[in-house]
Structure 1
Amino acid sequence: MSTRHLVDPELLPLLDLWPAVTMSAEVLEQARGWPAPPPPADDDGVVMERISVPGPEGASDLGLVIFRPVKPVQGAGGICHMHGGGFVLGTSEGSATRLRPMVAALGCVIVSVDYRLAPETPFPGPIEDCYAGLAWTFANAARLGIDPARIGVMGESAGGGLAAALALLARDRGEHRLAFQHLLYPMIDDRTGVIDGDPLTGEFIWNRDSNRFGWQAMLGVAPGGEAVSPYAAAARAEDLAGLPPTYIATGSLDLFRDENIAYAQRLLAAGVPTEFHIWPGAIHGFDGAPEAAITREANQSRIAALCRVLRG
């Protein structure tokens, strides 16, 4: 049974444009060559700069892409961002279409981490890259013109999973205090797609087979087994207390819907201030249709939430 009739009609053109491919080792190289969305015009008052910084111990230099306002905002907030792509795809530059409007609207600075991809670099390499990017952001807050008390993490899909894992790692290492975590349809539970789930979720964009491949690449072993680290799959964390205020949004047809609901419930039960949204008729990656009314509404919600934590 297809769930196409449940998709918001304004999102259907996105389905027709998106390659109907299940991610696998056989198609990975081809998928990495898919063109990124065209970047927005560069007259939006936002500057994008790529730099290299020292990576984790024993690793090569780490790429960061910095998005900042042309006219700096005094005491601006900062965001350490992780891009999506199922742990196996994506670049920070490919997130420009999403990040530049946020910087323009909020006057914040976004540091996007070009973490190493799986399967070439499995866990813990990607999360250690993200931690190195976060540490650099805190260490260079003055240079970036941001308030170190207003730095948080953000990500979409696999990047949302890395952001959630990074929040746990930052809490446990105790070196950097996060002001928030902002997660869009985060990929946080390796058990999704391994066990049976709601058949109304996960038909489009990122399905159960793609999910199993992404987690296998990240973990280096089959997903769903014993002793998976919460720094790889945040849903595996036993204790969520002490995490920063959280925003989570997902779609009603997204494969990650139920794991996102469960994580939000656990955060609330742990006393973590949590805002949660399910967008009806929304599929994974639905914000790839920026003109759809539901995407505009979801983006307004995200901007409002980020405004509260970045500006105080």
Structure 2
Amino acid sequence: MAGRTKSISTKKGEAVTKYFLLIADVVLIAFFGIMRPGFLQVGNLLDILSTAALVGTMGLGASIVMTVGEMNFGVGAEATLTAAMLGWILGKGNVSVYIIGVLLVLLMAALVGVIDSCFGVIIGVPAFIATLAISKINDGFVNLLTEGKTMFYSNWPPAFKWLGQGYIGPIPVLALIFVIIALLLWFLMDKTRLGAHIQAVGNNKNCCKQVGINVTKIKIIAFIICSLVCGFAGIMASSKTSNVMNTLGSGIMMDAMASAMLGATFLRPGRYNVQGTVVAAVLTAIISNGITFCAYPDYVQNIVNGIILLLAVGYIAMTRKEGLPSVKMG
């Protein structure tokens, strides 16, 4: 009887561990809904999802590199550079078709991912140092393209705004794009051989080498995917604001990185995963929206975010033998 009771208690503890973030989402929605009934209006909930789209998309990109055991501190600069390049080539008339412009700048974002991996994987410079240094170069190019001020061109095509401000029925396009990106990355990571290899490299790269998995190649691919996804996050952010600010990517980078890390406490504790990053990004958006809705001071958001991060990560660290997933910092 005692053993059965202990087993039930263990299962309950595991369930709380796996779904802590989702529980936090529901609790906070209920709390803000009680404090301000208008918070639960459909329009506001869709706004929360739109806000989560920017942080979540960048967080998803960052989590791919974290999954292979590396760290990319240049995700914010990559997002800003991609948005600035798109705004510049459309504004200068070098490209008149929006889709072509998007494809071109995403190719350039992929090139940045290749450069990141050349230094962080092939040459052997610690990835967090390499990406931090390259981000400074990217910041320089952003200032060159924007001339050190907020970029805006009146001849940008209507599609430039539609991605970030458009609606399909009552649903924001931004929210739909986020869901599509999350589903694509979930399929990649959980249903394909490449995704399995990416996760395997992060779990044990030595074993991967022994069974014939090209660890270097997988890490390079992870950096490229990261740059592509974060670059697209920059395009989404600039579309939402109808301009390109020098701080576009850096303004959401830390929340994005936190979402990726916090996501490793959800569903599969100790492993970075797409579902966890999405739930964590939504949590961040709920806190931001709720605090604004209730007219609380801005600093409350940072305090609440920090408390939730510490509680979730601390609980996993104490209850899981393997601890939290790690990334190489040197």
Q: Which structure has the highest strand share of the two?
A: 1
Relative to the length of structure 1, the TM-score reads 0.29
Greater RCO, 1 or 2 (C-alpha within 8 Å, sep 6+): 2
**What TM-score does the superposition give when structure 2 sets the normalisation length?**
0.28
The higher radius of gyration belongs to 2
